[in-house]
Amino acid sequence: MAWFRRSKENISTDSQKKDTPEGMWVKCESCGEIIHKKTLEQNLWTCSKCNFHFRIGSKEYFSFLLDEGSFKEYDKKMYSKDPLNFVDTKKYRDRVRETIKKTGLYDAVRYGSAEINKIGIVIAGMDFAFIGGSMGLVVGEKVSRAIDRALTAKKPLIVICSSGGARMMEAAYSLMQMAKTSAKLTRLSDAGIPYIAVLTDPTTGGVTASFAMLGDVILAEPGALIGFAGPRVIKQTIGKDLPPGFQRSEFLLEKGFVDAVIHRKDMKDTLTKLLGMMYSN
Amino acid sequence: MAKVVLDFEKPIVELEQKIEEMRKLSDNLDIADEIATLEKKVSQLRENIFSNLTRWQKVQLARHPDRPYTLDYISMIMTDFVELHGDRAFSDDKAIVAGFARLDGQPVMVIGHQKGRDTKSNLYRNFGMPQPEGYRKALRLMKLAAKLSRPIITMIDTSGAYPGIEAEERGQGEAIARNLFEMSHLPVPIIVAIIGEGASGGALGIGVGDRVLMMENTWYSVISPESCSSILWRSWDYKEQAAEALHLTARDLMEQKIIDRVIPEPPGGAHRNPQQAAAILKDTLIEELKLLQKIKPDKLVEKRIEKFAAMGEFHP
């Protein structure tokens, strides 16, 4: 009998290896670089080594995009009333309640008036952390109200998109939010007020097939997944692997569906220039 | 006689066959009374079964391969149909058909999803799943209709926009978004009729209108029960539950105030009597169109935008 035989059972070896150090350090999903949280924040949540753009919420986005203290939020506490009493493996109502508790958000979008380098705008920013940034009644209604507000205040509209698609648990109601937001955008267009869509990772499904693709100008962050059908569904349908870079920002730029791919660090500058040239109130 | 019989249709069809056989014998025998009794029985049975259908059974009816499709309805309810092809940019999508036709003598632009009936025609029609150029063809022709002040009638019957590499390359999302935007403010009456399956953005892409009508045995939602099951239950086995949870029948959508009217179907569903189904659809379309044509174009657009804006409005 070998002297080095393991005497205790259930000692796990490398199967539970931590891939993210706890606490102040974060690992880049793309290149594996270990980055200090402070550095990451200073870098606007992008990797200084490979430029990978981390997924961030509306709070983080607004923090570097908007002039300090200029954001005034509207309808902050609007939340889903679960119109269909939807139940899958769990009650939708509970899912919403838990997500509100967990994220401190009330649904997947926040909107308000703000300034970018002193230019007055109306802005909506989506939160992927809230049920995958899915669009249901609240997202549809808040984006619509953002459009209304841009229209009455005669201010340009910016929407930061980040969404996995429609909110299934609100079924046909969620589908109609696509028509609702698109219909409202015709009014903004008729009034000659610019609308800029900023697409971040990921922007798919019903959001892509409505307000995300209706920007007068559409900007995308590098490497963001942007599409109508999700890659998994496409792969299942066609039974083939997808080409590298498929449905990423650079692919859409190449195919002519976004105006420009802009690094997060340059977003504020680019928007300022564009707003200045596109609109004078 | 129906070629495909769904499980819950079987008792009805069996009884009907029995009556049919008795009829053949009735030349020699006097069994008219018995036939009459059986006929009464079959209509009672049909009413019983059809008034208690589950939502999943409604989905099955909406997909029934003998149901009339867009081109069937066009040939039964319209005249002078001239099909117009192509998006003038890339190609002609066979999953969406469109063209001028006359409804009750009046010229209209008719557009609809088109499924196939067998393997060959289904491949040709891509199973009624449009590519971006299908939506762009529809938009080109809707704009033409607007230019010429002709009303638009769309027929929805799709299991979804096609999820493929080329479809994404050519901007499936953009094509649908553009249609939602443009259809919202075209200054002519638009009537939308859901005649079979109304799946997600692929359906809505030609589904923004002044009046949205659903035939009795159709479904309309953001996702199919099967896909919903696979995502939320992580298994394909919960489609019945998913169908219930989604509240996707004509009656459900009427309650949700998402559609304006349910169009009744003949006893046993449209596939059992396509002519009658078409006649009811025709009368409904004519009636609805008359009402819409009394409204001035700018008012029409205003009301259409308000109609969709009110869907799921919040009053917190």
Contact B247 A172 (CB under 8 A): yes
pLDDT band at A231 (very low <50, low <70, confident <90, very high): very high
Residue B83 β-bridge partners: B99
Spatial CA neighbour of B39 closest among B12, B70, B10, B7: B12
Burial class (CB in 10 A: 0-12, 13-18, 19+), A252: buried
CATH of domain B57-309: 3.90.226.10
pLDDT band at B217 (very low <50, low <70, confident <90, very high): very high
How close is the nearest chain B Cα to the Cα of A62, in Å?
A: 25
Q: Which residues contact B162 (CB under 8 A, 6 or more apart)?
A: A237, B95, B126, B129, B130, B131, B172, B202
Q: What is the dihedral of CA B305, B308, B309, B311, to 10 degrees?
A: 160
Residue A210: which of B177, B232, B313 has the nearest Cβ?
A: B177
The predicted structure's pLDDT at residue B1: 44
Q: What angle do CA B111, B114, B118 make, to 5 degrees?
A: 165
DSSP letter for each residue of A105-152: -SSSEEEEEEEETTEEEEEEEE-TTTGGG-B-HHHHHHHHHHHHHHHH
Q: What is the mean pLDDT of residues B25-29?
A: 74
pTM attached to this predicted model: 0.94
pLDDT in tens, B9-21: 999 999 999 999 8
How close is the nearest chain B Cα to the Cα of A206, in Å?
A: 7
Quick check: A190 pLDDT over 80?
yes
The predicted structure's pLDDT at residue B274: 98
pLDDT band at A20 (very low <50, low <70, confident <90, very high): low
Contact B173 A141 (CB under 8 A): no
The predicted structure's pLDDT at residue A3: 57
> ipTM exceeding 0.90?
yes
Quick check: A84 pLDDT over 60?
yes
A chain contacts of residue B256, beta-carbon cutoff 8 Å: 83, 172-173
Quick check: B24 pLDDT over 90?
no
For chain B, say whether A253 makes contact (Cβ under 8 Å): no
Residue A219 β-bridge partners: A198, A260
Quick check: A107 pLDDT over 50?
yes
Contact A171 B185 (CB under 8 A): no
Quick check: B266 pLDDT over 80?
yes
Quick check: B303 pLDDT over 70?
yes
pLDDT in tens, A121-147: 999 999 999 999 999 999 999 999 999
The predicted structure's pLDDT at residue B85: 98
Q: Quick check: helix, strand or coil at residue B125? A: coil
Quick check: A6 pLDDT over 70?
no
Residue type, A19: D
pLDDT in tens, B33-79: 888 999 999 999 999 999 999 999 999 999 999 999 999 999 999 99
- What superfamily in CATH does domain A56-278 come from? 2-enoyl-CoA Hydratase; Chain A, domain 1 (3.90.226.10)
Each domain of chain B, given as residue ranges in start order, spans 7-52, 57-309
pLDDT band at A100 (very low <50, low <70, confident <90, very high): very high
pLDDT band at A16 (very low <50, low <70, confident <90, very high): very low
For chain B, say whether A179 makes contact (Cβ under 8 Å): yes
pLDDT in tens, B268-302: 999 999 999 999 999 999 999 999 999 999 999 99
Task: Give CA–CA dist A10/A89, Å, rounded.
Answer: 32
Residue B180: which of A138, A179, A187 has the nearest Cβ?
A: A179
Lowest-pLDDT range of A24-28, B25-29, B153-157: B25-29
pLDDT band at A2 (very low <50, low <70, confident <90, very high): low
